[in-house]
């Protein structure tokens, strides 16, 4: 017994260590990290090193807890300004987008497999949500500096689309396992009522739980070493409590993290570091367990079908759903195309594909195997191409800040101030002699190992360490003073135009100088107001507006999203970058009509009695 404990510990620790080391490979080559973790699990399983693991209930339990940890950290790290900026399009993708993806995918799965309608939609629901961990690791590993609107939309969608996919999957499993034979109308009503109740209870539990976490942290004087464990435990209690009252535990834990992360919670920097580490550990364990649970020797018999379904999801179902959901928001076609491509499937899809096995469904293992291969196809095709596609679509912008060396130090109490330690780096504005603003209060300078009062330090020099008290609203403004100059790629030297203009100048000056064709109302505006009007009321860094023969580029915005500096390009781009055909809605629609015509013809040939079916045969038909 004792030896078996040591052996299990040794093997488990070795697998986690191997997964951690594989992250170095992923960062070096930009590979999808989830793919490496799953590969290690597959290589160690029954068809690899021979580790036998076939406990579906334990795999689902471990995966659910790990996902709860990841979602709490995701919510904790989402600022409210990001949420406000992209909440509506992202939530549209996380709800309507998931439903459309599951529905479109389920229709094609029905005609390509021997599954019933409900089983086909169950498979669609399992693979309908995107994987936040995979998406954002690729953006970081590839040093992809995207427009803030695109990044925010992807971040919020990935963090919020899991609950509806989980609800759909579990509900369909319960209906199929019960042997129900609902009509389409009754099925829709049951799903709608159940969804509203499930999400409503989850949202209420999450908001209340988040406020309670903040209050308990402020009231209890816990040791800083215990505080992160205390918060993590409370988040899991919120997750479990929401599930116990038949609400969405995953939505609850995400909202609890969102509330806690955007409040004046004590020891926030300590909590962020701890949760980042726990989130990594949760991802590694979840991916390894799911990889161990899979049985690759069962893949060959369904490989062709699963591969085609994976391609259909990537090239048709996801782009159509994204195009429909973002239609009301007037997002540029390039941004819509990129968001549709960055819809990587991951651990959540594999985790949900376990539920048919837990429900004892006849085709449960086949649904799991197909979903697993669909995830692998998504990671292999989309995971390696995120960076190149972003560059092709012109969505990568020059970095706003260069390298910055900063440490955040925790202050006792809730003084609404932060103590920041900056290192003076070469080329920074402070190193070039720019003064620190009055609202920041430097208290100490450490130079060559000696502590000096700021008043006695004189001009700051490279290598100095400066400790500054600053109101918690302004750290990002201070970062710009201590960051080094941005190294702009030679291809981006003209990105911000030939020269800068003051956004408070009248737009009539542009009309007089360049005959831009502005209307009488537009000439009465300032240049900044004109840009905002053309952009729909919100501008962000690197936004571009073509006005007649010139192009105006937003060079800088302040903390309140007000335009501070504008560049003028005298040679605006002739046309936007071309969108690949496989991400064009018109091309996809034409191809889809042809596909459905062929599938309908094939279905009529193989099942001549299909015309006699009624909606009540929903759960009884198979090929």
* 430 CB-side CA count, 13 A: 24
Predicted pLDDT at 183: 64
> Predicted confidence band at 318 (pLDDT cuts at 50, 70, 90)?
very high
Q: Where are the beta strands (DSSP E) in 356-481?
A: 406-409, 417-423, 441-447, 450-452, 465-471
pTM greater than the 0.85 cutoff: no
Angle at 135 between CA 134 and CA 138, to 5 degrees: 85
**Domain spans in the chain, listed from the N-terminal domain onward:** 2-392, 406-482, 497-569
> Predicted confidence band at 184 (pLDDT cuts at 50, 70, 90)?
low
Lowest mean pLDDT among 22-36, 56-70, 245-259, 322-336: 22-36
Predicted pLDDT at 617: 41
> Predicted confidence band at 481 (pLDDT cuts at 50, 70, 90)?
confident
Phi-psi region at 497: left, alpha or beta (left = phi > 0; alpha = psi -120 to 50)? left
pLDDT at 289 over 80: yes
Predicted pLDDT at 189: 75
pLDDT in tens, 209-232: 999 999 999 888 887 788 899 999
Predicted pLDDT at 621: 44
pLDDT at 547 over 70: yes
- 497-569 placed in CATH 2.40.160.10: no
- N residues, the chain: 623
Kindly list the distances between the CA atom of residue 569 and the CA atoms of 255, 488, 502, 544, in Å, as whole numbers in the listed order.
43, 17, 14, 10
Place of tokens 């949900």: 352
- 2-392 placed in CATH 1.20.1530.20: yes
Which two structure tokens, joined as six digits, stand for 158?
Answer: 């990935």
Rounded Cα distance between 46 and 192, Å, is 41
Angle at 347 between CA 149 and CA 131, to 5 degrees: 5
Closest by CA to 236, choosing from 57, 73, 12, is 73
Which two structure tokens, joined as six digits, stand for 474?
Answer: 């302004």
Whether 339 contacts 130, CB under 8 Å: no
Per residue, the 3-state secondary structure of 206-255, as one string, reads HHHHHHHHHHHHHHCCCCCCCHHHHHHHHHHHHHHHHHHCCCCHHHHHHH
Rounded Cα distance between 63 and 100, Å, is 25
pLDDT at 406 over 50: yes
Annotation: CATH topology of 406-482: Alpha-Beta Plaits (3.30.70)
Closest by CA to 113, choosing from 375, 381, 374, is 374
Rounded Cα distance between 24 and 116, Å, is 44
**What is the average pLDDT across 552-578?**
75
pLDDT at 186 over 70: no
pLDDT at 612 over 80: no
Kindly list the distances between the CA atom of residue 554 and the CA atoms of 352, 481, 570, in Å, as whole numbers in the listed order.
43, 20, 15
Lowest mean pLDDT among 58-67, 138-147, 538-547: 138-147
User: How large a percentage of the chain has pLDDT more than 70?
Assistant: 79
pLDDT at 404 over 70: no
Q: How far is CA 243 from the centre of its chain?
A: 24
């Amino acid at each position: 017994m004792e030896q078996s404990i040591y052996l299990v510990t040794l093997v488990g620790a070795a697998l986690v260590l191997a997964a951690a080391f594989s992250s170095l490979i992923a960062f070096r080559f930009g590979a999808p990290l989830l793919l490496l973790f799953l590969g290690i699990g597959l290589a160690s399983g029954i068809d690899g090193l021979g580790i036998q693991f076939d406990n579906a209930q334990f795999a689902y339990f471990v995966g659910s807890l790990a996902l709860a940890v990841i979602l709490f950290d995701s919510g904790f790290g989402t600022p409210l300004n990001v949420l406000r900026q992209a909440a509506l399009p992202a939530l549209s993708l996380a709800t309507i987008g998931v439903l459309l993806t599951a529905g479109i995918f389920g229709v094609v799965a029905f005609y390509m497999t021997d599954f019933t309608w409900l089983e086909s939609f169950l498979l669609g629901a399992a693979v309908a949500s995107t994987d936040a961990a995979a998406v954002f690791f690729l953006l970081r590993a590839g040093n992809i500096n995207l427009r803030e609107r695109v990044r925010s939309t992807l971040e919020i969608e990935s963090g919020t689309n899991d609950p509806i996919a989980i609800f759909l999957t579990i509900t369909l499993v319960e209906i199929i396992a019960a042997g129900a034979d609902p009509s389409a109308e009754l099925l829709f009503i049951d799903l709608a009522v159940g969804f509203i109740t499930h999400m409503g209870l989850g949202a209420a539990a999450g908001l209340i739980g988040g406020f309670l976490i903040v209050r308990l942290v402020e009231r209890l004087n816990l040791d800083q070493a215990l505080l992160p464990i205390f918060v993590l435990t409370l988040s899991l209690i919120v997750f479990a409590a929401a599930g116990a009252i038949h609400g969405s535990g995953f939505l609850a834990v995400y909202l609890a993290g969102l509330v806690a992360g955007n409040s004046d919670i004590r020891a926030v920097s300590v909590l962020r570091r701890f949760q980042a580490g726990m989130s990594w550990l949760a991802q590694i364990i979840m991916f390894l367990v799911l990889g161990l649970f899979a049985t690759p020797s069962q893949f060959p018999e369904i490989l062709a079908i699963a591969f085609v379904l994976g391609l259909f999801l990537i090239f048709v179902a996801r782009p159509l759903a994204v195009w429909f959901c973002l239609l009301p928001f007037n997002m540029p076609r390039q941004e819509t195309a990129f968001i549709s491509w960055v819809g990587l499937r991951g651990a959540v899809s594999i985790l949900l594909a376990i539920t048919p096995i837990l429900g004892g469904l006849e085709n449960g293992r086949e649904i799991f195997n197909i979903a697993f291969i669909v995830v692998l196809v998504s990671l292999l095709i989309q995971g390696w191409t995120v960076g190149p596609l972003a560059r092709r679509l012109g969505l990568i912008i020059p970095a706003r800040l260069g390298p910055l060396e900063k440490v955040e130090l925790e202050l006792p109490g809730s003084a609404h101030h932060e103590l920041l330690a900056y290192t003076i780096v070469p080329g920074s504005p402070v190193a070039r002699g720019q003064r620190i603003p009055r609202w920041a209060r430097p208290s100490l300078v450490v130079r060559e190992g000696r502590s000096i009062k700021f008043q006695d330090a004189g001009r700051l020099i490279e290598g100095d360490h400066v400790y500054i008290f600053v109101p918690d609203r302004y750290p990002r403004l201070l970062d710009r003073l201590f960051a080094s100059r941005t190294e702009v790629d030679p291809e981006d030297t003209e990105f911000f135009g030939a020269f800068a203009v003051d956004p408070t100048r009248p737009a009539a000056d542009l009309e007089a100088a360049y005959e831009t064709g502005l209307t009488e109302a537009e000439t009465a505006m300032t240049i900044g107001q004109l840009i905002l009007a053309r952009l729909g009321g919100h501008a962000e860094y690197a936004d571009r507006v073509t006005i007649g023969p010139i192009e105006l580029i937003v060079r800088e915005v302040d903390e309140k999203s007000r335009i501070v500096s504008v560049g003028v390009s005298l040679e605006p781009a002739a046309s936007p970058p071309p969108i690949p055909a496989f991400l064009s809605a018109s091309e996809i629609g034409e191809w889809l009509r042809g596909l459905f015509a062929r599938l309908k013809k094939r279905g009529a040939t193989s099942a001549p009695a299909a015309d006699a079916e009624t909606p009540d045969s929903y759960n009884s038909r198979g090929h």
